Every structure is written in structure tokens, then in C-alpha cells.
């Protein structure tokens, strides 16, 4: 069985002049090598395709695959993660992970929270800021947490993300609107524990493989899993499996969110607890990083006793099962 692999290689974009932060979501070559090695060990023939432009060229010349292992993040727009799956759908080429609808919805954190809240899943109160003037109309109680509405890898999250006054809120929204050219999500600040839940499977077959608590060390930046903390996690972050009552509630909420949103095959759901210790949905990552050492999902799986080969095997098994 021939498996194509679609991805955005960070080195390619750095060579074209993009900055380290602009390319933070893209993959290193050793991630692609690890995925390809695991697929080969599982008995699949692999073909590295690369980014969207390369996929377009390959399809135009008549190339096809039995399935595509898609981890392409895309470069531009709120629908950037959906571009490769949409093209594959147009040519009836099966692929791993979520479809264009899910990937467009979940990249927009505000729209995701609307769907989550409408389905009765607990999430922090929030508002969406599209212009600096919008910040004046926000009536949520301080402190608040402010971040770009459609970025991953904690881009735009710094020590300044937590704001305690109307003046701070306006200034932070101004900075983010200028830097990222997209709306800003403003949420009630959650001061409690932070969890990420790893999920494998689709719909009723989805299961949480573990609940990992993210613990910041003394000296880490700010009040959350920021871009700096995530980039230098060896110095600033500890990870541990959690199994107490709050973790089990996080597991339940994460699975409900995964199924409500229609996510497929594998990914992560991030949650944080409020002042009473109750976990609340923050966001979902249906295209979770797959570096075998540095990415949160493989770290979580390793803590839960699942090796990288088994993770890739189970992703493929989930895709095969839903495709019949």
C-alpha cells in the first residue's frame, strides 16, 4: 500500500526568509523521517510529497496514492490547515486526520468555543476582538487572557497575555492585531492546573490515551504554556500523567469535545482549571505535532506506555477503519 506524506518543512520556509516564529508550527526533517520510518516498519511504501504546491504539481502529473498521511499546516489564511485535505477530497484521495470543515473550524478558537459552549461543554467566558475599538466593549471581569484567534504552538502568547486593566487589554489587543493580522480571543483568565488530553480514534471509537499535566518551573515565562516556554520546554516545563478527579473530568470533557467537533484519528485537547479547580475546555489540536521527542502528543503517549511506532500504527488503524 502506497502512502504519500504531506507536510510543511520549517527549513524550506526559513530559507525563503520567513522568521522563526512565523514557521514555528512547521515540521523539522527528523519528524518526517520518524513518521516515514514508522510507516515503513508497519509495511507501507512511502512517498514524500511535501507542501501544498508540491501536492498540486504531483496530482497534475497524474500521481495518486492509496492514502496520504497529512500533517501539512498550511501558510496563509484561516483555512490554511484545510487546504491539503480539500484538494485530496476533490481527487477522492483518502487521508489521515480531520477533514476541511473540522480543520477550518478548530483553527478559529472563537468559532470553536461557540460550538463547544452551544453543546454544553464547559469553557471560559470569552469575547472576540476584531478592531482595537472592540476592546472597550468587553465587560468580562479582569484578569483576562488575550491571544491570537488562529495560531498554534502558543504563538502570540507571552507574559503580557494576562491583562489586569482596560488599558492593558486595549494595548495587548492593539499589539496582536498588528502583529498577526487576525482577530484576538479574549477569555476569562483561568488560574488553575493545565492539562492536555491525547486522543486516538474517531467518533464513538475515540479514546483518551492519557491526561498530561503541564507544570511550569520556577522562572518560566508568565502564567501559561507560552511560546517561549514551549520552545524551550526542557528548561521551563515538566510533564506528568495525572489521574485524580480533576484529570478524569478533563478526560471526559476532552472526549466530548473531540466527538462534538468531529475530529478524527488522533490529536489533543487542551484544558485549564478555574479558581475552583474545575477543568474547562481551551482548544483542540486535530493536527497535533508528531516529533517523536519534542511534541506533546508523543510525550504524553510515552508517559502512558505507548511507543512512537504504536502511535503511528494506531493512527493508521483509525484511518483505515473509518474508510472501510
Interval 79-122: pLDDT, tens = 999 999 999 999 999 999 999 999 999 999 999 999 999 999 99
Backbone angles phi, psi at 258, to 5 degrees: -55, -45
Per CATH, domain 191-323 is 3.30.470.20? yes
Q: How confident is the model at residue 160 (pLDDT cuts 50, 70, 90)?
A: very high
Pick the CATH number of 125-188 from 3.40.120.10, 3.30.1490.20, 3.50.50.60, 3.20.20.70: 3.30.1490.20
Contact, 284 vs 167, CB < 8 A? no
- State the CATH architecture for 2-95: 3-Layer(aba) Sandwich (3.40)
Taking the CA atoms of the chain, what radius of gyration do you get in angstroms?
A: 19
**Among residues 188, 243, 171, which one has the least CA distance to residue 212?**
243
Cα separation, 296 vs 304, whole angstroms: 12
pTM of the predicted structure, to 2 decimals? 0.95
CA distance 268 to 284: 6
> In the predicted model, what is the mean pLDDT of residues 251-266?
98
232-250 per-residue burial string, b: 16 or more CB within 10 A, e: under 16: ebeebbebeebeeebbebb
Whether the per-residue pLDDT at 69 is higher than 90: the answer is yes
Q: What is the C-alpha to C-alpha distance for residues 307 and 292, in angstroms, rounded to an integer?
A: 9
Q: Which residues contact 114 (CB under 8 A, 6 or more apart)?
A: none
Q: How confident is the model at residue 190 (pLDDT cuts 50, 70, 90)?
A: very high
- pLDDT confidence bin for 228, thresholds 50/70/90: confident
Spacing of C-alpha 38 from chain mean position: 22
Spell out the alpha helix ranges (H) of 42-82.
52-60
Which helix (H) or strand (E) segment holds residue 162: the answer is strand 162-163
Task: Examine the pLDDT at 222 and tell me if it is beyond 80.
Answer: no
Q: What is the pLDDT of residue 224?
A: 79
The structural domains of the chain, with segments of one domain joined by +, span 2-95, 125-188, 191-323
Residues with Cβ within 8 Å of 161's Cβ and at least 6 positions away in sequence, in order, are 145, 146, 147, 172, 222, 223, 224, 226
Task: Give SS3 for 33.
Answer: helix
Half-sphere exposure for 147 (CA within 13 Å, toward CB): 28
Question: Residue 271 pairs with which residues in a beta bridge?
Answer: 195, 281
Distance from C-alpha of 163 to C-alpha of 143, rounded to nearest angstrom = 6
Amino acid at each position: 500500500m502506497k502512502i504519500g506524506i504531506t507536510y510543511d518543512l520549517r527549513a524550506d520556509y526559513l530559507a525563503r526568509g520567513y522568521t522563526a516564529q512565523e514557521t514555528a508550527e512547521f515540521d523539522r526533517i527528523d519528524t518526517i523521517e520518524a513518521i516515514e520510518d514508522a510507516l515503513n516498519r508497519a509495511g507501507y511504501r512511502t512517498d514524500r510529497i511535501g507542501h501544498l504546491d508540491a501536492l498540486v504539481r504531483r496530482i497534475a502529473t497524474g500521481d495518486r496514492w492509496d492514502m496520504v498521511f497529512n500533517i501539512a499546516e498550511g501558510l496563509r489564511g484561516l483555512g490554511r490547515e484545510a487546504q491539503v485535505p480539500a484538494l485530496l477530497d476533490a481527487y477522492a484521495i483518502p487521508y489521515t486526520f480531520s477533514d476541511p470543515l473540522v480543520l477550518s473550524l478548530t483553527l478559529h478558537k472563537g468559532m470553536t468555543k461557540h460550538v463547544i459552549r452551544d453543546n454544553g461543554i464547559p469553557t471560559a467566558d470569552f469575547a472576540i476582538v476584531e478592531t482595537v475599538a472592540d476592546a472597550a466593549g468587553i465587560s468580562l471581569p479582569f484578569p483576562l487572557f488575550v491571544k491570537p484567534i488562529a495560531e498554534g504552538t502558543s504563538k502570540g502568547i507571552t507574559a503580557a497575555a494576562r491583562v489586569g486593566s482596560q488599558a492593558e487589554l486595549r494595548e495587548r489587543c492593539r499589539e496582536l492585531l498588528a502583529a498577526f493580522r487576525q482577530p484576538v480571543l479574549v477569555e476569562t483568565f483561568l488560574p488553575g492546573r493545565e492539562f492536555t488530553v491525547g486522543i486516538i480514534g474517531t467518533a464513538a471509537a475515540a479514546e483518551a490515551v492519557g491526561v498530561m499535566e503541564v507544570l511550569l518551573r520556577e522562572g518560566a515565562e508568565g502564567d501559561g504554556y507560552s511560546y517561549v516556554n514551549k520552545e524551550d520546554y526542557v528548561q521551563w516545563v515538566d510533564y506528568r500523567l495525572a489521574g485524580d478527579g480533576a484529570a478524569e473530568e478533563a478526560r471526559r470533557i476532552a472526549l466530548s469535545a473531540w466527538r462534538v467537533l468531529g475530529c478524527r484519528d488522533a490529536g489533543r485537547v487542551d484544558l485549564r482549571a478555574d479558581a475552583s479547580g474545575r477543568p474547562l475546555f481551551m482548544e483542540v489540536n486535530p493536527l497535533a505535532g508528531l516529533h517523536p521527542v519534542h511534541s506533546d502528543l508523543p510525550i504524553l503517549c510515552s508517559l502512558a506506555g505507548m511507543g512512537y511506532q504504536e502511535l503511528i500504527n494506531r493512527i493508521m488503524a483509525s484511518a483505515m477503519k473509518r474508510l472501510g
